[in-house]
């Protein structure tokens, strides 16, 4: 280490999101429909779910909490920590 203090932040891990969805047996389209059924947001397009799983976009916190609930996983399991200088 160079002696400079580093902090850590939690960020959504796209691959964990995809793995959790697949383990729940849902397609991207099915996940988007389930989110709409909860009236969390207007219908999330399948393409948006794909972008979340690629890391191109990040779901809002309210949507992310519902995703974890739909997939039956703890919210923390969808995050990773990374160092911030």
Q: Does residue 5 form part of some domain?
A: no
Q: Does residue 2 form part of some domain?
A: no
pLDDT tens profile 21-58:
999 999 999 999 999 888 766 677 889 999 999 999 99
What is the model's pLDDT at position 85? 64
Domain count, the chain: 1
State whether residue 49 is helix, strand or coil: helix
What is the model's pLDDT at position 2? 55
pTM score, whole prediction: 0.80
Mean pLDDT along residues 53-73: 93
What is the model's pLDDT at position 67? 95
The count of other CB atoms within 10 Å of the CB of residue 49 is 24
Q: Does residue 62 form part of some domain?
A: yes
CATH number for the domain spanning 36: value is 1.10.260.40
Tokens of 15: 């691959």
Tell how far CA 24 is from the center of its chain.
14
Instruction: Give the domain extent around 17.
Output: 12-80
Query: Who wins on pLDDT, 61 or 39?
Result: 61
What is the model's pLDDT at position 39? 73
- Torsion angle of the four alpha carbons 38, 41, 47, 48, in this order, in degrees rounded to the nearest 10: -110
Q: Which of 63, 21, 75 is nearest to 38 (CA)?
A: 63
């Amino acid at each position: 280490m160079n002696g400079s203090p580093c902090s850590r932040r939690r960020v959504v891990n796209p691959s964990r999101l995809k793995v959790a969805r697949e383990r729940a047996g849902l397609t991207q389209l099915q996940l988007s429909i389930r989110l709409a059924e909860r009236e969390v947001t207007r219908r999330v397009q399948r393409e948006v779910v794909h972008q979340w799983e690629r890391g191109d976009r990040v779901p809002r916190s309210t949507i992310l909490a519902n995703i974890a609930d739909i997939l039956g996983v703890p919210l923390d399991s969808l995050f990773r920590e990374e160092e911030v200088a």
